[in-house]
Amino acid sequence: MKSNLFAVCIACLALAGASPNSGIRSSLITVEGTVVTVASAPGEGDLEVLSVTLAPKGAEGKELNLLLAPKATLDEVDFQVEQGDRIQARIFPAEEGPAKVHKVRNLTRHTMLRLRTLHRIPLWDGVGAWQGGPGGGMKSGHGSQKPNSRGNGPH
């Protein structure tokens, strides 16, 4: 009887399109705007992490603080962000402090990088070395990737 109930529950979830990560994905929000400042901030572990202040599109006067990754990590994968760049980011909203970025796309430079898994685990190690998979950032603004692109680590 219990196995039949379990099978029915699994079938209902499948029909509803639920997945084990659907709750995690729904906690992410996408923001887009112009980078106002780029600075260093305390991040995961003892590493200093690059943070940006973003002026979101359509939200006059409101700014968001976003936590990216260690500068050395971003340099290693050739991902750059500077004041004035337009970026789009999937973030884990934070009650206090900067929001951790799951994935960031620099619309000005046509690059993209995944920084954390859906479970907020950084894709760099304890000394800031890139662990997220081979290659660099997305180099096309239309969603296609070069063969040796970076940022395709675990979701």
User: Per residue in 47-91, pLDDT tens?
Assistant: 889 999 999 987 777 899 999 999 989 999 999 999 999 999 999
Give me the mean pLDDT over the 37-52 stretch: 87
The per-residue DSSP string of the chain comes to: -HHHHHHHHHHHHHHHT--TTHHHHHT-EEEEEEEEEEEEEE-STT-EEEEEEEEETT-TT--EEEE---HHHHHHTT----TT-EEEEEEE--SSSPEEEEEEEETTTTEEEE-B-TT--BSB-TTS-B-S-SS-----TTS---TT-S-----
Homologous superfamily (CATH) of 27-114 is Nucleic acid-binding proteins (2.40.50.140)
For residues 10 and 34, which has the higher predicted lDDT (pLDDT)? 34
Q: What are the residue boundaries of the structural domains of the chain, listed by start?
A: 27-114
Q: Give tens-digit pLDDT for 88-99.
A: 999 999 888 899
